[in-house]
Structure 1
Amino acid sequence: MYLITGGKIITEEAILEGFDLLIAGNRIEKVVKQGEFNPDETIQVIDAEGGYISPGFIDLHSDYIEHMAAPRPTSLMDFHLSVRETEKELITHGITTMYHSLSLFKDTEYAYKPIRETENVKQLIDIIDKTHHSKHLVRHRFHARLEIDNVEEIANLKTFIAEKKVHLLSFMDHTPGQGQYRNLEIYRATVKGYSNKSDEEIAQILERHQQKEKLTIDGIRELAQFAREHQITIASHDDDSLEKLELVQSFGAVISEFPITLEIALKAKENGMFTIAGAPNVLLGGSHSGNLSAPEAIRAGSIDILCSDYYPAALLHAVFEMNRKHDMDLVEMFKLVTLNPAKAIKLDHELGSIREGKTADLLIIEKIEPNFPVITAVFVDGRLIQKTNYR
């Protein structure tokens, strides 16, 4: 048992000061006024030293594992080592539940990544699953990102789903001219950023992408139905029109990842979908692709969830930056990385907020400089898995 004292507890409604939090087993036992509960020698007292006591962060979309497994385009590290080292990093950023977002790409033509080859993705999926069922630090989940031209991979994906190795499924279409790359000039600049290709070569890539075979609407609907039958949440990716929103909702998508414009984000919310933006977008002050500005969208009330996307450190800093720079309520900003993602994947009965009876995934967050928050303690399932002491 643990008693956390001397901190500011972030609940669903407010920030409580002058209260203690008791952990018993893997649960939040009670929240009481400071000094009301007298601990005995069986209870370890943790002094939060004036820091914030927050729920653990839930990251629904991050391909950081790809970077850890392949830190250079042609350098593949041992995958088991990569997953183990990744989770050690994640806890330092407060991420206690990670949906590793592995891409099931057919090809990108201009930015070849061997980590995205079918056999490598299969190995990583298996290792993520095995890690979660052996000694581990964080709650490992698999977010399958299916590029809809990868028709040959559907059978394998169904096998992963049937084996309970998939926990979130998103459909992606990175064809230039729509979605993330609706602006072809940005697409051309992206290609040139990855490779030294001529304008003529880029034109050939554009033509090939726009003529390639894709999964049909009926095929997407059938696969989505199969996933829903296995209690898997469905997400769409880079929604760029009202028509696409209606389409993705027709096959059961409840999450809109990275809506392209503020209008689409607002409409997705109006339609009852959860909306996701990248936390790096907050730190950068806007989208690296020239699309939706996350700070603007959050201020407009059109974003429910922040994900780390490719930079795990961004979650913590984005929460405090939205409060400090944009005067957004801190309790509501914490919900973007805790309660709201838990609701989107229907885990809010267990995770995402500090409430008696819920699973004790908790963080202590201190500021070592006026505007620099750090994680100094991490609890997962009621166990203290990390304590960091700045000197």
Structure 2
Amino acid sequence: MSSERNETILSNARVVLHDRVIERGWVAIGGGVIAEVGEGDAPERGEDMGGDLVMPGLIELHTDHLEAHYVPRPKVYWDPVAAVVSYDGQLATSGITTVLDSLRLWSEEGVEDVDGQANVLAKAISSARDANLLRADHFLHLRCEIPTPRVVEEAQELIERPDIRLMSLMDHTPGQRQFRDEGKLRDYYRGKSGGLTDAQLDVMFAQRLDYQKKYAAKNMREIVALAHSHNVPLASHDDTTEENVGEAIRDRVSVAEFPTTMEAARGLHQAGVRVLMGAPNVVRGGSHSGNIAAVDLAREGLLDIMSSDYVPSSLLMAAMQLPKHAPVIDLAAAVRTVTKTAAEAVGLSDRGEIVAGKRADVIRVHMARDIPIVRSVWREGIRVA
């Protein structure tokens, strides 16, 4: 034990390290960082964790859940700062201490959704941060829909912000990638928009195909160049074919979000690109779009990172369930997919594991009938939930 006075000692805990679990140990926190970690009895009286898990705070790279708080019903727009604060509270109580808020850079006529609101939400996040209203540490992830007229312009408006940590290259043109089955895309929009007719969807799909021909190639070059010139990591999205994999490698992406086939995931992983899959995919037992299951990738050693996507609580649930679905993955390895590996993918080397000198972003998790319950959350050593 160092001579420096520790602010907090978490004792009698199962401590999840990056490579193993200390079945009975303790963690000392001081000055906002992890001071020491040990096994057995703590050298000083601490806060008794009652045998609960103590692990790094979760790190979320891709969640568009903020939109559900900003537009809780079609055409109902909430106060954007209040929406951010509500969303942030849900993240923190789900164990997420660092988040990349995914903002969509595209607009689409005829869809009741959050389109073209990236600037509004980015400003709201800054306002909430400046007012010290946030529990989690927030960064931005720009989701760039490549075949749209204004995506480059919208990205340029935001790219100078210091909190941008990731840009994803997205293309939801019907008949490819996630929605190779056009019927799945029709089902998606019927549910998401409150019920578009087939005639309306025909018009929308025709426009998307036209946009791809007009804008995709040029926009892709410009968005990739913009990201590289500002040292922002890139993510590919819904890679399906060998051609998609080759494009991702060409563009020097760091993360591959939601590859849809085993072949694509294997090619990306072998090229050193970190493969990210949705935690809801694990919890539900498969993809809602009918694509490859995350647990199948995990069994093949191809799953590197998980994201809560549209359900914040799914991130911790999936990490706890993953060893059951893929016995080759132990608890420490499962937790890495939602902490250390995610942090490294976007250059956040100061967090994501319980080791001396790293940020004291720590959560206490109680398991109740195989359901993980977040009992306490510390961000830089300060309890926030």
The reply to whether TM is greater than 0.5 is yes
The answer to whether the 8 Å contact 1:101/1:143 transfers is: yes
TM-score using structure 2 length = 0.92
CA offset digits 1:56-92 (Å, max 9, x no partner): 0000000110001111121111111011111111111
CA 1:19–1:351: 2 relative to 1, 3 Å: same
Q: Are positions 1:35 and 2:41 aligned together?
A: yes
The answer to whether the 8 Å contact 1:55/1:338 transfers is: yes
Match of 2:99 in 1: 98
Match of 1:47 in 2: 48
Distance 1:196 1:34 in 2: 58
Distance 2:135 2:203 in 1: 46
The answer to whether the 8 Å contact 1:220/1:251 transfers is: no
CA 1:362–1:73: 2 relative to 1, 3 Å: same
Match of 2:279 in 1: 279
CA 1:204–1:36: 2 relative to 1, 3 Å: closer
Identity fraction in percent: 29
**How do 1:373-384 residues align onto structure 2 when only pairs under 5 Å count?**
373-384=372-383
Match of 2:4 in 1: none
CA 1:18–1:25: 2 relative to 1, 3 Å: same
Match of 2:124 in 1: 127
Match of 1:223 in 2: 223
Distance 2:23 2:38 in 1: 11
The answer to whether the 8 Å contact 1:142/1:168 transfers is: yes
Unaligned 5+ segments in structure 1 are: 40-44, 387-391
CA 1:223–1:275: 2 relative to 1, 3 Å: same
The answer to whether the 8 Å contact 1:129/1:165 transfers is: no
The answer to whether the 8 Å contact 1:53/1:363 transfers is: yes
The answer to whether the 8 Å contact 2:145/2:151 transfers is: no
Tell me by how many angstroms 1:201 deviates: 4.2
RMSD of aligned C-alpha atoms? Answer: 1.8
Further displaced range: 371-380 or 202-211: 202-211
Unaligned 5+ segments in structure 2 are: 1-6
- What secondary structure sits across from 2:175 in the alignment? coil
CA offset digits 1:318-370 (Å, max 9, x no partner): 111222344341111111100110111121x3111111111110011012x23
Q: Are positions 1:353 and 2:331 aligned together?
A: no
The count of corresponding residues between Structure 1 and Structure 2 is 375
CA offset digits 1:24-49 (Å, max 9, x no partner): 1111001123335235xxxxx22111
CA offset digits 1:294-330 (Å, max 9, x no partner): 1111112111111010000101111112223443411
Tell me by how many angstroms 1:197 deviates: 4.5
Match of 1:306 in 2: 306
- What secondary structure sits across from 1:223 in the alignment? helix
**How do 1:51-62 residues align onto structure 2 when only pairs under 5 Å count?**
51-62=52-63
- What secondary structure sits across from 1:162 in the alignment? coil
**How do 1:312-327 residues align onto structure 2 when only pairs under 5 Å count?**
312-327=312-327
Q: Are positions 1:249 and 2:249 aligned together?
A: yes
Q: Which amino acid aligns with 1:231?
A: N
The answer to whether the 8 Å contact 1:142/1:165 transfers is: yes
Tell me by how many angstroms 1:287 deviates: 0.6
Distance 2:127 2:204 in 1: 38
**How do 1:151-300 residues align onto structure 2 when only pairs under 5 Å count?**
151-193=149-191, 194-213=193-212, 214-300=214-300
CA offset digits 1:122-156 (Å, max 9, x no partner): 11111112323431211011111011123324223
CA 1:217–1:209: 2 relative to 1, 3 Å: closer
Distance 1:90 1:375 in 2: 11
TM-score using structure 1 length = 0.91
CA 1:286–1:33: 2 relative to 1, 3 Å: closer
Q: Which amino acid aligns with 1:126?
A: K
Q: Are positions 1:14 and 2:20 aligned together?
A: yes
The answer to whether the 8 Å contact 1:90/1:96 transfers is: yes
- What secondary structure sits across from 2:363 in the alignment? strand
The answer to whether the 8 Å contact 1:129/1:140 transfers is: no
Q: Are positions 1:371 and 2:367 aligned together?
A: no
Further displaced range: 221-230 or 134-143: 221-230
Distance 1:371 1:108 in 2: 44
Distance 2:281 2:257 in 1: 13
The answer to whether the 8 Å contact 2:22/2:39 transfers is: no
CA 1:209–1:150: 2 relative to 1, 3 Å: closer
Q: Which amino acid aligns with 1:373?
A: P
Q: Are positions 1:80 and 2:77 aligned together?
A: no
- What secondary structure sits across from 2:159 in the alignment? helix
